[in-house]
A and B are shown apart, each in its own frame.
Chain A
């Protein structure tokens, strides 16, 4: 990721306050979208692999991971150790406390 892509990724992620929904994945720019779809499919990703997928330094990848944790897509896994942070992925579609998602799916997919 170049600087512009990194800034855009941070902006995209910070723009939403709700949990990251499945439809959100279709709206993210690359390489963020590919990295996240891969992580979601596997169910788990290390910070090292996340940084590799995003083509970022670890510190920058951790910035992204922190926003993803705040938006409940990533959770620090019990597999984490002193050498490596592992994250587990969990897509959801409701805010906390529970509520129905906005009916704007077509607008999002058409983005």
Chain B
């Protein structure tokens, strides 16, 4: 049975898109058919991690929301862009990076129900094992929709006071929406911090399992979203942490 996984954070810059792209790739390496939808219409970016060039974007999520195409036509097979053989497949529904199209969709708005339909249709039509939703930070109707229909919610935060307070709101809302499984990932943790202390503090604060405390990493900064970190550094603590998240998603 397919699973819908939302990757969310209250604030921006926590590493959602990187985490989403890596989780999708790790799931595909295990043989799964994985879909990824970039619902961050205001500031899309995950297509860069999958090396999907703007020129190669035949259709985008924007086109689907405008009724120009079905959701399947906006799904691009990016498996070949990963740079390594994987047993499964990754399909990306990107959001448009054209300034005019971003402005238009923000100005005109759209029916969030179309996202609801699109998520279900792309899972059914593409025979997906997993659909990962890369969300816009913060709470809006679109992110609430993603959380409401998800089987798993991965909440990303940094060990930063602004993130601590904002994440409490996300966790509270997710509990109201009764997400079956909520997984916490603490990202960009300075090496100077005691990782077990961070884990304990977050677990005590939110009463949610912390699946991984990921270190702040020069290797990640140097890679600079030019590819999938777990493929380039498969033995890195970040890759190990993300594999633990995958294990919880599939388990």
- Of residues 197 through 218 on chain B, the ones whose CB sits less than 8 Å from some CB of chain A are none
Residues in B whose Cβ lies below 8 Å from that of A93: 111-113, 141-142, 145
Q: B140 and A100: CB pair below 8 A?
A: no
Q: B140 and A90: CB pair below 8 A?
A: no
Residue from the set B113, B151, B176 with the largest chain A CB neighbour count within 10 Å: B113
Give Cα A99–Cα B111 distance, bound, in whole angstroms. 8
Q: Is B86 an interface residue, CB under 8 A from the partner? A: no
Give Cα A62–Cα B10 distance, bound, in whole angstroms. 37
A22 and B109 contact, Cβ closer than 8 Å, known pairs A41-B151, A105-B141, A109-B139: no
Chain A count of residues within 8 A CB distance of the other chain: 25
> What number of A-B contacts does a CB cutoff of 8 Å give?
77
Say which size band chain B's interface belongs to: 20 to 34
Residues in B whose Cβ lies below 8 Å from that of A100: 109
- Of residues 132 through 157 on chain B, the ones whose CB sits less than 8 Å from some CB of chain A are 139-142, 144-145, 147-151
Q: B178 and A22: CB pair below 8 A?
A: no
Residues in A whose Cβ lies below 8 Å from that of B117: 90
A22 and B112 contact, Cβ closer than 8 Å, known pairs A41-B149, A105-B139: yes
Q: Is B116 an interface residue, CB under 8 A from the partner? A: yes
Give Cα A2–Cα B151 distance, bound, in whole angstroms. 30
Q: Is B233 an interface residue, CB under 8 A from the partner? A: no
Q: Is A8 an interface residue, CB under 8 A from the partner? A: no
B-side residues, CB < 8 A to A, are: 109-113, 116-117, 120, 139-142, 144-145, 147-151, 169, 173, 176-178, 180
Q: Given contacts A21-B141, A22-B144, A23-B144, could you give 14 more A-B pairs where the C-beta distance is less than 8 Å?
A: A21-B144, A22-B145, A26-B177, A41-B178, A90-B113, A91-B116, A91-B149, A92-B113, A93-B142, A93-B145, A99-B109, A105-B139, A109-B139, A109-B169
